[in-house]
Amino acid sequence: MGYNGNRIKLMRQANCLSLQQLADILCDHYVPISRAALSNYETGRRLPSVSAIETLAVELGTVPSFFQKEDWEGFSLELSRPLDIVPLRQQELYSFIQVELERNLEIDRALGKKSGWKKPEKRIFHSDGREVEDFIREIRRDWGLGGYPISSVCGILEKLGWYLISSTEQFRYFDISGYETSTQTPFILYHPNYFIDDFRMSLLKELGYLYLEGKDEEETEKIARHFARGILLSGEQAVYELGEKRTKIAKKELSMVKQKYGISKRNIMLRLYELGIIDSDCYESFDTHLRQHSFLKREKAIMDLQYFFEVPITYEMKVFRAQAEGTLPEEQAEYFMAIQDK
């Protein structure tokens, strides 16, 4: 089987490399090649040698069989919100997402799994927080969350059919949700350098962007954050823990609620304020104290919260299952495990 030049271009772009940069890398590894020759590989005007393909696979973080696969016809992304980046950077990001979605979908096909995800109808909200609270209750009910803390946001989203994609160093500033249109495949791209409570909040906020919309970008972000806080700490849970009205909150109370619900102290206070449990004076007093004192500043590593397992594991579990059940062809096993271990 021959090599598909488009696949070389796809993986090069997913690694954020120009033709010249890739040529330089190959030359550094004793595969002398010019930018023009690489361009000929990608356009199909020239076939690469076996040794060139093997080196390309190593340097681009894949395996040689990746370059033999067919193109993904009709691949297109619908994002929850526009990205303010130059076209070249956007193409690199889209290539990275495509590679990550491909491997997930191929494992699903090997296991005979089909996604039941359906594109949500985006709802338009205004400044009235009661509408958002009603929606939060609806979603929590649909997800079967009950009155208990969420032990794993990752686990819930993966069970709902979302693919959670950890970004690489090149895309460390991107957090975005969306779906691939030809397959209706939903995903959230996240960067992994979060504290756990921030990570949980970020995942749900990105989900909120796909479900909710305000009159402008600023209001949409405000609503998405409101949504995320409400999923982590519902109105009923907040009242149960802290009552219907408070004039002050003890530091230890905040710490205990944070540990129990996996939500930061600032977002707990914002949640209590938007629910009307505390007033603006109480929140502003906390906010001033937060900025002036060190006891609330971030100093610990990502495992600063107990009880929460926030690591997407569904893809790896599927790979192991497919291998154990013999549904993953032997010649493809190296491909999936190589990407898993990159």
Q: What is the DSSP string of 280-338?
A: HHHHHHHHHHHHH-GGGS--S-TT-SSS------HHHHHHHHHHHHT-S-HHHHHHHHH
| Contacts within 8 Å (CB) and 24+ apart, 194-197 | 194/302, 195/264, 195/298, 195/300, 195/302, 195/304, 195/305, 196/262, 196/302, 196/303, 196/304, 196/305, 196/308, 196/310, 197/258, 197/262, 197/263, 197/264, 197/267, 197/305
- Domain CATH for 56: 1.10.260.40
In this structure, the answer to whether residues 102 and 236 fall within a common structural domain is yes
Q: Are residues 47 and 171 in the same domain?
A: no
Give the Cα separation of 239 and 234 in Å (integer).
9
Instruction: Answer yes or no: do 252 and 128 share one domain.
Output: yes
Q: Indicate whether 156 and 66 sit together in one domain.
A: no
Range with lowest mean pLDDT among 15-19, 128-132, 303-307: 303-307
Tell me the average pLDDT across 55-80.
93
Average pLDDT over residues 35-61: 92
User: Lowest mean pLDDT: which of 66-80, 114-128, 159-173, 198-212?
Assistant: 114-128
DSSP assigned state of 179: E
Q: What stretches of the chain adopt beta strand conformation (E)?
A: 77-79, 123-124, 163-166, 176-180, 185-190, 212-213
The whole-chain average pLDDT of the chain stands at 88
Which residues lie closer than 8 Å to 33 by C-beta, 6 or more apart?
Answer: 23, 26, 27, 52
> Which domain range does residue 35 map to?
1-70
Q: Give the three-class secondary structure for 162.
A: coil
* Residues 258 and 129 reside in one and the same domain: yes
- Give pLDDT tens digits for 203-242: 999 999 999 999 999 999 999 999 999 999 999 999 999 9
Name the residue among 171, 102, 166 with its Cα closest to residue 336. 102
Contact between 153 and 310 (Cβ < 8 Å): yes
pLDDT at 330 over 80: no
Whether residue 87 sits in one domain with residue 32: no
User: Which is more confidently placed, 306 or 104?
Assistant: 104
Token look-up 């495509």 returns 98
Contact 196, 309 (CB under 8 A): no
Angle, vertex CA 306, rays to CA 301 and CA 308, nearest 5: 100
Number of domains in the chain: 2
User: Of 70, 98, 117, which residue constitutes the final position of a domain?
Assistant: 70
Q: Of 13, 48, 70, which residue constitutes the final position of a domain?
A: 70
Q: Helix (H, G, I), strand (E, B), or coil: what is residue 186?
A: strand
Q: Is 134 helix (H, G, I), strand (E, B) or coil?
A: helix
pLDDT score for 150: 95
**Judgement on whether residues 186 and 321 belong to the same structural domain of the protein:** yes
Q: Are residues 257 and 313 in the same domain?
A: yes
Sequence-ordered list of residues with C-beta below 8 angstroms from that of 73, at least 6 positions apart, any chain: 182
In a shared domain, residues 66 and 114: no
Instruction: Give the confidence band of 298 by pLDDT, cuts at 50, 70, 90.
Output: low
On whether both 59 and 122 belong to a single domain, the answer is no
Predicted local distance difference test score (pLDDT) of residue 291: 60
Distance of CA 41 to the CA centre of its chain: 32
In terms of domains, do 140 and 40 share one?
A: no
